[in-house]
């Protein structure tokens, strides 16, 4: 009698956002023999990186504009591995618009080495005074010379104040960069996260600050094309499957089925995770991270204002708005038609913006756009929609960073994924992809425990960050010594 081959190990991935899809892509590539099931409650995977159908045009519109940076090496690698990198447009410069000053172009030098490649473009920001530019240079130098581990218990605003950054410099420069990148204000956010953005994202490497913008709807990029590639590799994607419980016996219970798994990757948002494990017996629950504390992590909202005009208001693909309620303006190439010219305004950390009425916010932003773009004064706003997700990102405060859990847990078959886990990144697409890869590494190490006593280092599943330039490597310190002021 022919002996039947044992069934391949089954990995259930709960949550089809970028973290869950990243875990599935990693496992399907590294261990294609695994049986992989990806469970997603929505109609399409992609999580917060999704779109809705505009009833007037029939086209897809992203809930909120997503963008990445050139330093997001794992996100870029994921898209390249799936043949999707052509759907990101890389822009090497930004335009900053202040209502009281001419436009300023932010374009790092192509011939000066990092971090000196930022000097000329910082000097070119017309809305900053000479005093502010001196403060910024001094602050960036001090930040480069401050090791990240010394910043984990410090809020950004306090550190900036100690670094002699005046309130108007914080408002006009540091807040402009950090609130957009971190989704939270400097009075709350961790300075370690701020350093990640400013040093890794701007100072350390050439190309790190390039802006990467999807040129197709997010629902198409992630919900269909990435999902199609995962399906082609053998991943079973079950949409419309809301998971009710993950039991202590590694069973995943949905409203329609129960799945037995050899390993489970839980990739749901932080505010949902505790409810999936609340039926565990007390003795087994002790092995889990502090899920109630994780679920109580504060959120920070992001608001997207979707605007349709009867004529173009600017040919610019995007602009950074300074000194206004509007923070970013994006012109979506897939969102405009002959009679509908679509733009999106993004307001991160939008606590103050959403306290008033919807019409007040629209009137305020429309006045700002008409001041910034002369063509907007002759354009008629045909319609608009405000989309605010109160749980857009987790608020990366020092006390939050301290409780972010690792991918590996004390339950051998369970690993965690999500940008809220400990990735050393803030709440970004890059952080989500990294978390999925780390969770995949934890699952592989668990599944191999019976056949191979050695464990794979999680870093083997990650794409290295951009290598710092030689000069940047000398100037950016990772030790505990302080540097002098750069003036």
| pLDDT at residue 451 in the model | 59
Same fold, 10-49+217-297+399-447 and 299-394: no
Closest CA to 401 of 418, 421, 428, 429: 421
Q: What is the pLDDT of residue 477?
A: 78
Are 323 and 99 within 8 A, CB to CB? yes
Interatomic CA distance for residues 321 and 95, integer angstroms:
9
- pLDDT by 10s per residue, the chain, length 487: 555 667 899 999 999 999 999 999 999 999 999 999 999 999 999 999 999 999 988 889 999 999 999 999 999 999 999 999 999 999 999 999 999 999 999 999 999 999 999 999 999 999 999 999 999 999 999 999 999 999 999 999 999 999 999 999 999 999 999 999 999 999 999 999 999 999 999 999 999 999 999 999 999 999 999 999 999 999 999 999 999 999 999 999 998 999 999 999 999 999 999 999 999 998 899 999 999 999 999 999 999 999 999 999 999 999 999 999 999 999 977 656 667 899 999 999 877 666 678 899 999 999 999 999 999 999 999 999 999 999 999 999 999 999 999 999 999 999 999 999 999 999 999 999 999 999 999 999 999 875 555 566 777 899 999 999 899 999 997 643 333 333 3
User: 10-49+217-297+399-447 is classed in which CATH architecture?
Assistant: 3-Layer(bba) Sandwich (3.50)
CA distances from 119 to 320, 470, 486 (A): 19, 17, 11
The encoded tokens of residue 41 equal 């409650």
Question: DSSP assignment of 235-300, as one string?
Answer: -EEEES--EEEE-TTSEEEESS-EEE-SEEEE---GGGTGGGGTTS-HHHHTTS--HHHHHTPPEE
**pLDDT of 457:** 73
Give the integer Cα–Cα distance in Å for 225 and 208.
26
CA nearest neighbour of 350 among 388, 324, 385? 388
Phi and psi, residue 21, nearest 5°: -70, -35
Cβ–Cβ under 8 Å, residues 95 and 106:
yes
Q: What is residue 484's predicted lDDT score, i.e. its pLDDT?
A: 36
The domain ranges of the chain are 10-49+217-297+399-447, 108-207+467-475, 299-394
- 296-337 pLDDT, tens per residue? 999 999 999 999 999 999 999 999 999 999 999 999 776 566
Paired sense of beta strands 263-266 and 10-14, if any: parallel
Q: What is the pLDDT of residue 306?
A: 96
If residue 369 lies in a helix (H) or strand (E), which one and from where to where?
helix 358-372
User: 129: exposed, middle or buried (C-beta count within 10 Å: 0-12, 13-18, 19+)?
Assistant: middle
The span from the CA of 296 to the CA of 278, in Å, is 15
What's the Cα-to-Cα distance from 160 to each of 133, 189, 276, rounded to whole Å?
Answer: 14, 12, 40
So what's the pLDDT on residue 483?
37
Fold of 299-394: Polyamine Oxidase; Chain A, domain 2 (3.90.660)
- Compute the half-sphere exposure of residue 49: CA atoms within 13 Å on the CB side of its CA: 31
For residues 97 and 5, give the distance between their C-alpha atoms in angstroms, rounded to a whole number.
65
Q: Closest Cα to residue 373, out of 310, 331, 308, 313?
A: 313
How far is it, in rounded angstroms, from Cα 289 to Cα 409? 7
CA distance 172 to 157: 13
Instruction: Give the Cα separation of 384 and 404 in Å (integer).
Output: 37
DSSP 65-102: ---EETT-HHHHHHHHHTT-GGGEEEE--EEEE-TTS-
Cβ–Cβ < 8 Å for 263, 11: yes
pLDDT at residue 220 in the model: 97
The pTM of this model reads 0.94
Determine the pLDDT at residue 338. Answer: 64
pLDDT at 333: 72
């Amino acid at each position: 009698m022919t002996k039947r081959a044992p069934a391949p190990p089954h990995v259930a991935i709960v949550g089809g956002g970028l973290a869950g899809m990243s875990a599935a892509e990693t496992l399907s590539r590294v261990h294609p023999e695994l049986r992989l099931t990806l469970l997603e409650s929505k109609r399409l995977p992609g999580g917060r990186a999704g779109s809705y159908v505009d009833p007037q045009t029939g086209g897809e519109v992203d809930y909120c504009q997503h963008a990445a940076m050139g330093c997001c090496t794992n996100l870029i690698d994921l898209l390249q591995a799936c043949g999707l990198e052509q759907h990101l447009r890389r822009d090497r410069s930004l335009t900053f618009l202040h209502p009281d000053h001419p436009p300023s172009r932010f374009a790092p030098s192509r011939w000066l080495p990092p971090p000196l490649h930022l000097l000329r473009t910082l000097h070119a920001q017309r809305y900053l005074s000479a005093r502010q530019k001196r403060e910024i240079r001094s602050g960036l130098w001090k930040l480069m010379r401050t090791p990240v581990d010394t910043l984990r218990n410090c809020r950004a605003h306090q550190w900036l104040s100690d670094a002699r950054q005046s309130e108007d410099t914080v408002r006009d420069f540091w807040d402009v960069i950090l609130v957009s990148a971190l989704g939270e204000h400097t009075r709350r956010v961790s300075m370690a996260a701020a350093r990640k953005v400013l040093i890794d994202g701007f100072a350390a490497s050439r190309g790190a600050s390039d802006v990467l913008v999807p040129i197709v709807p997010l629902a198409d990029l992630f919900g269909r094309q990435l999902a199609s590639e995962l399906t082609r590799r053998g991943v079973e994607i079950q949409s419309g499957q809301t998971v009710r419980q993950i039991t202590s016996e590694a069973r995943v219970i949905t409203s329609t089925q129960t799945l037995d798994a050899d390993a489970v990757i839980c990739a749901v948002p932080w505010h949902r995770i505790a409810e999936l494990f609340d039926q565990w017996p007390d003795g087994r629950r002790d092995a889990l991270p502090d899920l109630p504390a994780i679920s109580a992590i504060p959120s920070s909202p992001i608001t997207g204002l979707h605007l349709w005009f009867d004529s173009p208001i600017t040919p610019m693909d995007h602009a950074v708005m300074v000194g206004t309620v509007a923070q970013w303006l994006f012109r979506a190439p897939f969102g405009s038609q002959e009679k509908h010219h679509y733009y999106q305004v993004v307001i991160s950390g939008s606590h103050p913006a959403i306290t008033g009425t919807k019409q007040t916010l629209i009137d305020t932003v429309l006045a700002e756009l008409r001041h910034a773009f002369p063509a907007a004064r002759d354009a008629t706003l045909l319609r608009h929609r405000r989309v605010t997700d109160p749980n857009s990102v987790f608020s990366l405060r020092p006390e939050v960073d301290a409780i972010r859990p690792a991918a590996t847990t004390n339950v051998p078959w369970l690993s965690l994924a999500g940008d809220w886990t400990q990735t050393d990144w803030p709440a970004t697409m890059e952080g989500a992809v990294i978390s999925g890869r780390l969770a995949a590494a934890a699952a592989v190490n668990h599944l191999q425990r019976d056949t191979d006593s050695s464990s794979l280092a999680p870093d083997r599943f990650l794409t290295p960050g951009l290598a710092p330039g030689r000069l940047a490597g000398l100037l950016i310190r990772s030790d505990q010594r302080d540097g002098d002021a750069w003036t």
